[in-house]
A and B are shown apart, each in its own frame.
Chain A
Amino acid sequence: MKFKAMTAIAALALSVPMLAYAEADDDKLVTNEEIEMVTKAPAPAHLEGALDEVMSGWHFRADETQEMQRDDFDNPGMIFVETALDEWNKVDGSEGKACASCHEDLESDMKGVRAGYPKWNDNAEEVRTLAMQVNACREGQMGAEKWKYAGKEMAAMEALISVQSRGMPVDVAIDGPAEATWEHGKELYYTRTGQLDLSCASCHEENYGNRIRSDHLSQGQINGFPVYRLKNAKLTTAHGRFKGCVRDTRAETYKPGSEEFIALELYVASRGNGLSVEAPSVRN
């Protein structure tokens, strides 16, 4: 009898830290002792019935990984931001322009930009992601060649632009002309794909906080994208991650930059309305 009680206590003692590890924690994220990040926020109205609270993926990571995002020096994603800064000032293309030729003050001109993308572009009559806008500038204004949609130059440039909005709440518009795209994205989010028959929601809405093999499922928020991943030591864009997720359901994936992923990006971004822009974040 006594032995059984001891075993029960031992089992309890073991299981408590495991539980605490598996669930989202209550840590606070302040970057550079200056930027206070909102990493938990009340869910936006359109998520009523699905989620009450939205949480940054930061909460689901181990303390050591979380720590890397508290200081820019410890954040390996900032290496890529520095490379992109060189690119920002570099003249490219037939027009003899750099990004900096039009956007003279990077900090003030790009402040808040990342928080509102993807968004409707009136002239082009399409929903544009940040990457599409960068390529539109490169082709239209600079006369330069487009970058690969989810390639390393683009990921770094997205990170540089995102840094100017860090700490600002994600606020993408889902009504008006963007609504049809948003609805399409929502449909994709809840559509099961692949041999494993999983939708985005199967993992990131119904099972966040639970384990998937040795890892923890987050809510799949993209407020921290592009993200520096420890597993491959480089930046990953939202579309790169979408592709990885869909592939993991054992399906043929859509392509980065495809209509489907643009719609999905708008929808997923809108699920994080209210969370701070964290990019470049650090994840495993």
Chain B
Amino acid sequence: MASGVKPRVKVPKTAAAGEAITIKTLISHKMESGQRKDKEGNVIPRSIINRFTCEFNGESVVDVTLEPAISTNPYFEFDATVPEAGEFKFTWYDDDGSVYDTSKKVAIG
């Protein structure tokens, strides 16, 4: 597991039914591209977050493939419609097999 990985998300606590809300997510991750070399000339192995997903009550909202050119601490901002009260689940997949997730509840109000 890469060190210092910490997911952060920002979701409004409440929304009107059918309202599109803005969601911001950020995960601290070094996103080592696999293109760089260390002082001895050896390639530093690739270590990136390769996939990010967001689900709402089990239904897919976004599913993103990340490539090595994406810089450190990847940040995503997107809009999602909230049809009913429920929970957003965010998942990040690391090259090394680690999976980081977090979730946020949204109420209708």
* A residues at B contact (CB < 8 Å): 73-74, 76, 79, 82-83, 233
Contacts and interface: CB of A to CB of B under 8 A. Distances in A.
Interface in B1-52: 4, 6, 8, 10, 24, 26, 28
Interface residues of B, number: 10
A233 B73 CA distance: 9
B72 interface: yes
B8 A83 contact: no
A233 B26 CA distance: 14
A83 B26 contact: no
Contacts of B73: 76, 79, 233
Contact of A73 (B4, B10, B71): B10
Contacts of A83: 4, 6, 28
A73 B24 contact: yes
A74 B10 CA distance: 10
15 contacts: A73-B8, A73-B10, A73-B24, A73-B26, A74-B24, A76-B73, A79-B6, A79-B8, A79-B26, A79-B28, A79-B73, A82-B8, A83-B28, A233-B71, A233-B72
- Please classify the interface of chain A as helix (H, G, I), strand (E, B), loop, or mixed, using the class held by over half of its residues: loop
Interface in B67-84: 71-73
List the 8 shortest-distance A-B pairs measured between CB atoms, nearest first.
Answer: A73-B10, A79-B28, A233-B72, A73-B24, A76-B73, A83-B4, A79-B73, A82-B6
A74 B72 CA distance: 14
A73 to B, nearest CB: 5
A83 B5 CA distance: 10
A164 B10 CA distance: 22
Contacts of B4: 83
Contacts of A82: 6, 8
Contacts of A233: 71-73
Contacts of B6: 79, 82-83
A73 B26 CA distance: 8
A82 B8 CA distance: 10
Q: Which of A73, A76, A82 has the most CB of B within 10 A?
A: A73
A76 B8 CA distance: 11
Contacts of A76: 26, 73
A79 B4 CA distance: 10
Contacts of B26: 73, 76, 79
Q: Which of A74, A79, A82, A83 has the most CB of B within 10 A?
A: A79
A74 B28 CA distance: 13
A74 B22 CA distance: 13
B76 to A, nearest CB: 12
Contacts of B71: 233
B100 to A, nearest CB: 14
A265 to B, nearest CB: 28
A74 B6 CA distance: 15
Nearest to B72: A233
A74 B25 CA distance: 10
A83 B28 CA distance: 10
A74 B75 CA distance: 9
A83 B30 CA distance: 14
Contacts of B24: 73-74
A150 B10 CA distance: 31
A20 B96 CA distance: 48
